[in-house]
Amino acid sequence: MTDPSLPVSPSSRASTDQIVSRVLSEIQKKYDLDLSSDPAAMQRIREAAEKAFLELGVSSEAVINLPYISANRAGPIHYRRRFQREEFGLAPGSAQGRSFSDDPGPGEAAPRRIRVQFPERSPVVTISLMVIMGILYLLQMLTSYLFQQDLPAALGMKINQAILDGQYWRLVTPMFLHGSLLHIGFNVYALYILGRPVERYFGHLRYLGLFLLSGITGNLFSFLFTSSPSLGSSTAIFGLLAAEGVFIYQNRELFGERFSTALRQIIQVALINFLIGLSPGIDNWGHLGGLVGGIIFAWFGGPNIKLQGSPPDLKLTDTRPESRSWLVFIGQLILLAALAGWAITVRG
């Protein structure tokens, strides 16, 4: 998901593309690896190139630093490069000034677009969740080795009969547990990729509420519609994917022509993962529940961004206060508790 954009002259896009091309070429030369077909890597490269171009408009140099951008047989791929303004024939201020003007000068083409960045936020919640999952998985492996039993999974995974017997925490704890090294590796990677942008746009506490509600809803759907035991954070991760789609849709005027492409990509990723979930041993009901939980919370409690001011003094304002988000969180949690109570009573 990219930042929203504003009009800018065509030369800025050309310069951004030049930086992207330079990065790809140097990575190809150094690592013998073509990243042009890697969507995740290309998004990071383009975002870094656009930021570097803006910096070159007001400074003589800009640094692009992309650690762990990809990997090949030799190991992880890193890229760090200091670009000079003169490399691209840019004059001071070329990324600003007239680029923001609505009226092109003599001989200039119609203006293009330039990003307006959201406030930067460190992904502290995403990293904390990854650490918690990692610690718990180490405990799972340790207890399996010492006691020949995975105690955290035995005590916390979703088991329908245990929930009917009163162990209601099993509707929460499965989102922090995993069944294998491949399982946690895939989910932690997905959390890292999806979680950082969603946390950036939603804010730390609202993002945490989204994660928890999505995971609980996914575990409840699994309890309602399948008797198989299950565990894993993919319930909550599907909620993050859904929330990203809702955010793009509700704030589509900010993304311009990128809106339809970004939303289509999210839908494709969701469908592909649901198809993968048809394989034996994968709880697609939990995925569907996480998706539903994420949609509900993001639709009613997610950020609603408006662009205020005029170029170059523009700012993004969230017109949906976080206090409303917490009301949505509490209301959705009460609804889930009521649904779980009804299901337990009927089955009990």
8 Å CB contact between 107 and 65: no
Q: Strand (E) positions, the chain?
A: 5-8, 61-72, 75-84, 112-115, 305-310, 313-318
Q: How far apart are CA 15 and CA 1, in angstroms?
A: 21
Give the angle subtended at the CA of 5 by the CAs of 303 and 302, to the nearest 5°. Answer: 10
Instruction: Output the pLDDT for position 322.
Output: 82
Instruction: Output the pLDDT for position 230.
Output: 95
DSSP 302-327: S--EEEEEETTEEEEEE-S-HHHHHH
Instruction: Output the pLDDT for position 10.
Output: 45
Residue type, 337: A
How far is residue 134 from each of residues 45, 144, 153, measured CA to CA in Å? Answer: 28, 15, 14
Write down the pTM of the prediction. 0.68
Instruction: Output the pLDDT for position 131.
Output: 97
Q: How far apart are CA 161 and CA 310, in angstroms?
A: 60
DSSP code at position 109: P
Phi, psi dihedrals of residue 32, rounded to the nearest 5°? 55, 50
Ordered per-residue pLDDT tens for the chain, 348 residues: 555 554 444 444 557 788 888 889 888 888 888 888 888 788 888 888 888 877 776 677 888 888 877 777 667 788 888 888 777 665 554 443 333 333 444 444 444 444 556 667 889 999 999 999 999 999 999 999 999 999 999 999 999 999 999 999 999 999 999 999 999 999 999 999 899 989 998 999 999 999 999 999 999 999 999 999 999 999 999 999 999 999 989 888 777 667 777 778 788 888 887 887 777 788 899 999 999 999 999 999 999 888 766 555 567 788 888 888 999 999 999 999 999 999 999 987
8 Å CB contact between 289 and 220: yes
Handedness of CA 39, 44, 8, 52 (dihedral sign): negative
Q: How far apart are CA 70 and CA 77, in angstroms?
A: 5
Catalytic residues: 234, 287
Instruction: Output the pLDDT for position 17.
Output: 83
Number of neighbouring beta carbons within 10 Å of residue 244: 25
